[in-house]
Structure 1
Amino acid sequence: LTQHSAAETSGGVGEKPDVLSQDLGMEGEKSPAEDQMRMKWESLHQEFSTKQKLLQNVLEQEQEQVLYSRPNRLLSGVPLYKGDGETQDKSAVTSLLDGLNQSFEEVSSQGGGTKRQSIHLEQKLYDGVSATSTWLDDVEERLFVTTALLPEETETCLFNQETLAKDIKEMSEEMDKNKNLFSQAFPENGDNRDVIEDTLGCLLGRLSLLDSVVNQRCHQMKERLQQILNFQNDLKVLFTSLADNKYIILQKLANVFEQPVAEQIEAIQQAEDGLKELDAGIIELKRRGDKLQIEQPSMQELSKLQDMYDELMMTIGSRRTGLNQNLALKSQYERALQDLADLLETGREKM
């Protein structure tokens, strides 16, 4: 027993310096896990920096394009950064970031954690940041690479864009919160603090760029919807105006039917002059419809309005043609009577 106890004692005394030396070594040197995390953060920062620059280039070139009537929102020859093709669901990313927030808050409430806890927390932060970036890849894919917006889809697309704007804002707030919690939980002299802050800065910058472009598109779509509404209202006004003018003109032409030709011609001239403003309104509405690329039903209504206008003008023109023919016949009749009178006068003189 004495020998066994002595052996345990000597063994225990021999182990303590080794453990202490390992702890001292951990303090003075980086562990393989720390080196690995450093490399992962540096690689992620380079990737984020590339994505942010590509996004800025695409946005600069997109300013020269129109939101509608182009086959593709992304200019050819300007590819966005594509990762491994995976997509990330927003709810999964949000859940991951919520868990990260809780972990940060727990460490902060304890006044900081051990080195092992720090590495574990750093890995969770890395996973959350990577997942957020993957979600943004899918957002960019939908924003810049998908088929261009068709005019008749504006209202539906506006709803989707407003939803996306809320998602981006929520994600930005989550990442900003995590960035602040990271600053509180990690020591200022931490080995990877600088590259982590730079990486988070790139991600927040990318979120900010996408937030601005989505909000700009929402504004453009709202303007377009208002223009479409104005177009439809003006179309209704022209329909009403044409119907009123048609009734008044036909009534007036009927009233002067038995009147002298001069009065009838004057009434026709007044009717034609009164329709000039309506004609200008239809032409302007066509121009606006072509520019807005109004959907087919509204353009069919505009064509119907044009047909009604043309029909009324044909009625007025037919009335004018009839009067002109009557005037021509009257003139011929008067000339014939005059010729007959001259002939009779000549006959009397000869007799």
Structure 2
Amino acid sequence: MSQKRTRRPNTIKSFVAGGESHYANEAVDFDAARDSFLRHCRVKNLSDQSLRYYSEGLKSLYEGLRELGVDRPLDVTEDHIDDLILARKDGGLSDAYVNSLLRGWRVFFRFLHEDGYIPANPTEKTRLIKAERRIIQTFTREQINKLLAVPDRTTFTGYRNFVLMLTLLETACRISEIEALKVTDIRWRERVMIVYGKGRKERQVPFQKTLEKHLKEYIAIRGLLDHDYVFVNIDNGPMKKRAMQDEIGKIGREANIKGVRCSPHTWRHTAAKLYIMNGGDVFSLQKILGHSTLQMVQTYVSLFGTDIAAQHRKYSPLEGLDR
């Protein structure tokens, strides 16, 4: 019976004659495997965010495998990966989060296999799980106005938070991109920001007169500092994304927003929704958002291409009947 062909590792590290004592450390020690993989990622010049993603994903992988009694990368099988998927789902993790873990695990084991540390890739046949498609939560116009009304714009932190929310709504940037934004990244004449997204990809994000006015005023109040980051804390240090998330969550509670999570990512979804509802096209939205494919943008279009409630009021099957 012929054996199914699989890709052969191009280097010989795991198949040295002399028994298991001659396996490379990466095959028998998870710490060594992790360190080699993360070094490989650094050599490829992956971002700090990507390195954190892989590191956290591998921590979850190791913990799960140890619970299954597996101590070496060499011993991991496809069944072990399936067991981990079920355990994570049974533990209450969302389908999207499980898929996020799986993506990292697949890259890790592919590296170990292709570099010759393990003879087989246990994730070679592993596919992402079918995730349920949930409605994307966004703010209504009324909620937007309530949120923007909360900050005390007579104080530095209040005006900063106000401008932060305006920036999120106008640009649809990720919070990590706003965290990294510098004054020198703003091209006032063209009204664009240079932002660095996933995979260190640079893109230009446009903004209009209203944000220009408030950004200029905020930066003037911010003043000259020993760094160029746009958003700063009360001690004049760069404002971290966790602090931004906390501030927006606090503003949401003060505005008594219900039924939707008050987070920077909800602002991003809201910006995309309003862009589509106002007649924007998918290709320019894809560039603004920094998505590599149209898949997510098409989701926005399918959900928000028309205001469903308004259209239903206009074309209700029941309301049009003579009764």
Band of TM-score, shorter chain: under 0.3
Higher RCO, 1 or 2 (CA under 8 Å, sep at least 6)? 1
- Structure with max Cα Rg: 1
More helix by share: 1
**TM-score with structure 1 length normalisation?**
0.22
